[in-house]
């Protein structure tokens, strides 16, 4: 097979890209900018500025950032510990962190709901050792907790991968040139894992920003995120145009994240994927 013939093998995928990736996105644009009669309008876009939407967007951003930062703070030390274990079989690590995903995530979130319940396991334990029970359920904190739980593996794996790639020579060279552990951490390890950090941040921030199931389950309907607003406008209100214009806003957020990631990901093909 010469090169040209080999390229043709991507043909079916090209059809798929156009039909099921690009065309659907154009549909969102269409619904966001055209009304039922097919005439152009900016009306739906202006709905974005309504108090409910703005509140939902700000809350989504806040919770998304909080979840991302917590994930990063939890994942980075863990990645370092895992890396120090010097496990030869790196796929084992991937395996361990992917395994929970084989249990349906709604059920896992439900399990947390049972654990965090007013009379749940956590509070039973807390009260038995004489501490105040925590009423975290149905608060934004519970939603952040759920997001951290659900997306933590997406932060751990890219950071671990980029850390495993750092050659021992760099560390030794820095040591040799007089750097102590702290300097090595800030000047060598963090910069060299930056692409992993960025991938992790994007892979946690985007789904956290746009989730609606977690907030529905752990927020008890009291925490309204942009995802919930969109879901309602499609599944309950039949306000497809308004929903589409909000989706467009989400897409822009995502595109910005993608661009940032591309700038930092010099290898081009993504530490994004495990």
269 binds another protein (CB under 8 A): yes
- Which burial class, exposed, middle or buried, applies to 44 when counting CB atoms under 10 A from its CB (0-12, 13-18, 19+)? buried
Q: Hey, which residues between 100 and 139 contact another protein (CB under 8 A)? A: 100-112, 114-115, 117, 119-121
273 binds another protein (CB under 8 A): yes
Q: Please choose, from the candidates 272, 264, 101, the residue with its C-alpha nearest in 3D space to the C-alpha of residue 203.
A: 272
We find the least distance from the C-beta atom of residue 200 to another protein, in angstroms, to be 13
191 binds another protein (CB under 8 A): yes
23 binds another protein (CB under 8 A): yes
151 within 8 A of 97, measured Cβ to Cβ? no
For residues 225 to 244, the per-residue mask of contacts with another protein, x marking binding by CB under 8 A and - elsewhere, is --x--xx--xx----x--xx
What CA–CA distance (Å, rounded) separates 83 from 80? 5
Nearer to another protein (CB atom), residue 78 or residue 139: 78
Nearer to another protein (CB atom), residue 130 or residue 178: 178
Q: Which of 42, 54, 73, 99 binds another protein (CB under 8 A)?
A: 99
Q: Please choose, from the candidates 160, 164, 189, 195, the residue with its C-alpha nearest in 3D space to the C-alpha of residue 175.
A: 189
Q: Which of 70, 157, 217, 218 binds another protein (CB under 8 A)?
A: 217
The CA-atom distances, in angstroms, between 106 and each of 37, 154, 212, 226 are 39, 17, 12, 19
We find the least distance from the C-beta atom of residue 34 to another protein, in angstroms, to be 12
Q: Hey, which residues between 30 and 49 contact another protein (CB under 8 A)? A: 30-31
We find the least distance from the C-beta atom of residue 41 to another protein, in angstroms, to be 17
Listed ranges 47-55, 65-73, 125-133, 203-211: which one lies at the site for another protein (CB under 8 A): 203-211
Q: Hey, which residues between 76 and 95 contact another protein (CB under 8 A)? A: 77-78, 81-82, 84, 91, 95
The CA-atom distances, in angstroms, between 159 and each of 99, 164, 172, 239 are 18, 9, 21, 40
Q: Which of 183, 186, 237, 260 binds another protein (CB under 8 A)?
A: 183
Listed ranges 42-50, 65-73, 96-104, 134-142: which one lies at the site for another protein (CB under 8 A): 96-104
254 within 8 A of 206, measured Cβ to Cβ? yes
């Amino acid at each position: 097979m010469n090169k040209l013939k080999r390229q043709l093998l991507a043909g079916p995928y090209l059809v798929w890209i156009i039909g099921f990736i690009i065309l659907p996105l154009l549909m969102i644009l269409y619904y966001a900018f055209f009304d039922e009669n097919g005439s152009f309008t900016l009306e739906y876009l202006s709905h974005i500025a309504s108090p409910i939407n703005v509140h939902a967007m700000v809350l989504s951003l806040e919770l998304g950032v909080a979840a991302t930062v917590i994930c990063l703070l939890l994942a980075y030390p863990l990645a370092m510990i895992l890396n120090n274990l010097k496990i030869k079989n790196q796929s084992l690590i991937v395996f361990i962190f992917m395994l929970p995903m084989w249990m349906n995530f709604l059920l896992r979130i439900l399990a947390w709901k049972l654990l965090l319940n007013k009379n749940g396991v956590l509070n039973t334990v807390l009260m038995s050792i004489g501490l105040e029970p925590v009423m975290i359920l149905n608060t934004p904190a519970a939603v952040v907790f759920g997001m951290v739980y659900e997306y933590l593996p997406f932060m751990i794996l890219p950071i671990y991968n980029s850390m495993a790639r750092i050659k021992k020579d760099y560390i030794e060279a820095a040591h040799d040139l007089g750097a102590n552990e702290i300097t090595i951490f800030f000047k060598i390890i963090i910069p060299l894992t930056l692409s992993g950090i960025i991938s992790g941040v994007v892979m946690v921030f985007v789904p956290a920003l746009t989730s609606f199931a977690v907030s529905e389950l752990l927020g008890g309907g009291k925490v309204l995120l942009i995802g919930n607003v969109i879901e309602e406008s499609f599944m309950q209100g039949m306000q497809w145009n308004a929903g589409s214009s909000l989706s467009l806003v989400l897409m822009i957020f995502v595109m910005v994240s993608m661009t940032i990631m591309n700038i930092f990901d010099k290898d081009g093909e993504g530490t994004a994927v495990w």
